[in-house]
């Protein structure tokens, strides 16, 4: 496999991962937000602003996936924006917790995962944009 083919395969894998991650984020957030009392009870002490942010960001994950697949430079900027906003919302969540607000421990894990994923994708795209012909 040549370097060019590896790059294409890598980009497709990253795009596919981002798309699946986005769809799962939309489905899980939507289930809690719109699923009725049972779904909300199962979510426990979900922090509403984090839940809404994650649900809406799932659509941005899917958009980024399309941009990655099409080798669009804006996908890199979107990944950076996602990484920054996820970390910012994670910080606000931390403030909420430290202020005595109710929360679910699994939110810490979920936000850690989201942060790591989008920081990783942004760093990957930084290398790809420099090394390939990502378009405007």
3-state secondary structure of 99: coil
pLDDT of residue 133: 61
pLDDT of residue 1: 39
Structure tokens at 105: 């421990």
- d(CA 63, CA 75) in angstroms, rounded, equals 8
pLDDT of residue 60: 98
pLDDT of residue 2: 46
Task: State the helix-helix crossing angle for 73-98 and 105-131, rounded to 10 degrees.
Answer: 160
Determine contact, residues 55/30, Cβ cutoff 8 Å: yes
Structure tokens at 65: 């996936």
pLDDT of residue 7: 81
| Residue ranges of the chain with per-residue pLDDT less than 50 | 1-3
- d(CA 93, CA 116) in angstroms, rounded, equals 16
């Amino acid at each position: 496999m040549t370097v060019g083919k590896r790059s294409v395969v890598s980009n497709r894998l990253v795009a596919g991962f981002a798309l699946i991650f986005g769809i799962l984020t939309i489905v899980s957030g939507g289930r809690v937000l719109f699923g009725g009392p049972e779904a909300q009870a199962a979510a426990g002490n979900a922090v509403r602003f984090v839940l809404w942010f994650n649900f809406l960001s799932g659509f941005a994950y899917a958009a980024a996936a399309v941009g990655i697949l099409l080798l669009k430079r804006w996908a890199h900027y979107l990944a950076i924006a996602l990484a920054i906003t996820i970390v910012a919302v994670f910080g606000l969540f931390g403030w909420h917790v430290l202020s005595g607000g109710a929360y679910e421990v699994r939110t810490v894990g979920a936000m850690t995962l989201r942060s790591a994923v989008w920081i990783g994708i942004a760093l990957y795209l930084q290398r790809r944009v420099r090394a390939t012909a990502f378009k405007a």
